[in-house]
Amino acid sequence: MDLGLRDRVFAVTGATRGLGHATAEALVADGAKVVVTGREQESADAAAARLGAGAVGVGGDNADPGLAGRLVATARERFGRFDGVLVSVGGPPPGFLGDLDDERWRASFESVFLGAVRLARTAAAELGEGGAIGFVLSSSVHEPIPGLTLSNGLRPALAGVAKSLATELGPRGIRVFGVLPGKIATDRIRELHGSGEPDAGGIPLGRLGTPEEFGRVAAFLLSPAASYMTGVMVPVDGGARHGF
């Protein structure tokens, strides 16, 4: 199946490892070009080098107000066009409400929420018909995860923004969606579980997902092959969510 990605150009944030990097790999494998970000220019350059000639790295945190503009400018300067963005950001620190002071809430809001909104707003102003804006969210959009209070507060809020943007941008032919990973075998999951092995209990497929499985879904959603999908929250969780 041809996804129609050849020579299209996407920005993928948080793409030095994990879900962002796996999505960038899937995009490049299908002929797209990517601008990938990491917090440091060195790590972004290294990620781009692993992806090959169809990739370029830009250093910067999602909380940086200048990052969004640099991504669009780099896409146009290096590859001549800009077709969409996947906003992926590392999860905020774990903790229960009593563990989290105002500063942690502010820092996470800047990076996870406001940074994502800023990236989407900048992309929306630059995209034309056929453009796509995706948010990497979490299964916590539907069901809070114990011990991840920051994520439980911020991810559903971003889902609301995505749904609003889908309605607002639909008449211009721009699609907006969220991808909701469940338990995927990333460094983040391992960090949350300490030295123990992440539990696959409650997952009908009986195992954790792989970043590559997530990346292929995200690449499809960004592609013209998904041209009639917008305003959706797509779970990639092995069937862990039982609701409709």
Show me where the domains of the chain are located: 9-236
Class of domain 9-236: alpha beta
CB contact set of 106 (below 8 Å; sequence gap of 6+): none
Hey, what are 30's tokens? Answer: 């299908």
pLDDT at 195: 57
pLDDT in tens, the chain (244 residues): 899 999 999 999 999 999 999 999 999 999 999 999 999 999 999 999 999 999 999 999 999 999 999 999 999 999 999 999 999 987 888 999 999 999 999 999 999 999 999 999 999 999 999 999 999 999 999 999 999 999 999 999 999 999 999 999 999 999 999 999 999 998 877 777 665 677 898 999 999 999 999 999 999 999 999 999 999 999 999 999 988 8
The answer to whether 192 touches 94, Cβ cutoff 8 Å, is yes
Stretch (H or E) spanning 83: none
Q: What does the angle CA 218 – CA 32 – CA 130 come to, to the nearest 5 degrees? A: 70
Q: Which of 210, 54, 189, 4 is nearest to 12 (CA)?
A: 54
User: In 134-205, where does DSSP find H-type helix?
Assistant: 149-169, 187-192
Predicted confidence at residue 193, as pLDDT, reads: 67
Whole-model pTM?
0.96
